[in-house]
Amino acid sequence: MPRFKLTIEYEGTRYSGWQVQKNARTVQGEIIGAIKKVFSTNDFDFQGAGRTDSGVHALNQVAHLEIKTTLSTEKIKFALNDNLPSDINILSVEKVSANFHARKDAKYRSYLYIISQRRTALAKKYVWWIKDELDLKKMDYTSKHFIGMKDFRSFAELDKEENSTLVKIDEIQMKKEGSLILVRIVGTHFLWKMVRRMIGVLVEIGRGNLSESDLINFLEMKSKMPSQFTAPPSGLYLEKIFYTEKYQLSELTSWIKL
């Protein structure tokens, strides 16, 4: 059967994450429903490049769809979008090799987190408002301890689907843009709640409540403390999936202007 690569954006506020769950509304579940309506079949394979937590957004999630069809890629995109809610949008559909696998072939993933330093009425669902003063230089410097192959057991929620808590973080970028603080994290993969706890610990360092040595200790030995600082999902975005070892990042910027 033909296989297609779908690039998808979604606003995750109304969903219990990406992955299909019983008795919960999910992004994958909504798209599967649209696929069934458009193609009138249950004979297909639809898998995403990675899971996102409840309430987390995506700018460029990737999934593959294997299904028997003669429709063009453009017609598939328009037909699916016509059957999806407004907070889920198929950006593109490409025909790919039958061997392409959205999750297994992914080499790196990048996440973006947006912190607002002013109260906002319009962007509340898309940022984490922090009214405290943050030491951005200290946060940026300390974040470099995350880079490399590290054990993130202190930053991950127990997940039966994960066999290891070792993750390679390739790059971390931090930037102030107006009233916003942008944090980009690039890694091979990410554990459940890992990014939100990384951000939460960095914010506590920026507030002066935690130190550089605290972060080092969290990486060297298991601690439950990072779970106390889990950042809200509202400011987190799955930014991009990379399928080559060498990748090029776009400029770190936000479409939200505060």
Residues involved in catalysis: 53
The Cα–Cα gap between 70 and 97 comes to 16
Please name the helix (run of DSSP H) or strand (run of DSSP E) that holds residue 54, with its range, or none.
none
Tell me how long the chain is.
258
Copy the structure tokens of residue 84: 């999806």
C-beta separation of 81 from 90 below 8 A:
yes
Dihedral Cα 250, 253, 254, 257, nearest 10 deg = -150
First-to-last C-alpha distance (Å) of the chain: 47
In 3D space, the residue among 229, 217, 224 whose CA is nearest the CA of residue 158 turns out to be 224
In 3D space, the residue among 71, 68, 64, 67 whose CA is nearest the CA of residue 96 turns out to be 64
The Cα–Cα gap between 8 and 35 comes to 14
The Cα–Cα gap between 126 and 227 comes to 21
